[in-house]
Amino acid sequence: GDSVTQMEGPVTLSEEAFLTINCTYTATGYPSLFWYVQYPGEGLQLLLKATKADDKGSNKGFEATYRKETTSFHLEKGSVQVSDSAVYFCALSDRAGNQFYFGTGTSLTVIP
């Protein structure tokens, strides 16, 4: 069945460091791919998404490119801030949009 595998955490970075959180997926057909973020004490928020191969999702300095050939959707940010500290979830939905799969989450802590 469909599934999402993401990089184990926790990840600790210094402010202004480069961030990569790896995400790979297994899916039949052509899923949509998402990154969600959960800040401490808050609910899940959509960070970015991509709906077809080679699409790049971007928001708040974060980017991820839908790579069909490597079945990946890695999250990147060139310079992290303390306010980026949160748990990041990679997710996919099937093309019909009625089945969803989340990764286990990667906790990011950014220190000044």
Contact set with other proteins (CB under 8 A): 4, 32, 36, 42-46, 49, 51, 89, 91, 93, 96-105
Q: Which is nearer to other proteins, 63 or 94 (CB)?
A: 94
What's the sign of the alpha-carbon dihedral 17, 65, 21, 109? positive
Q: Which is nearer to other proteins, 17 or 38 (CB)?
A: 38
Residues 20 and 17: their CA atoms lie apart, in Å, by: 10
- The CB-of-75 to other proteins minimum distance in angstroms stands at 14
For 60, residues 6+ apart whose C-beta sits below 8 A from its C-beta are 47
The reply to whether omega before 10 is within 30° of 0 (cis) is yes
Q: Which is nearer to other proteins, 13 or 44 (CB)?
A: 44
At 58, list the tokens.
């971007």
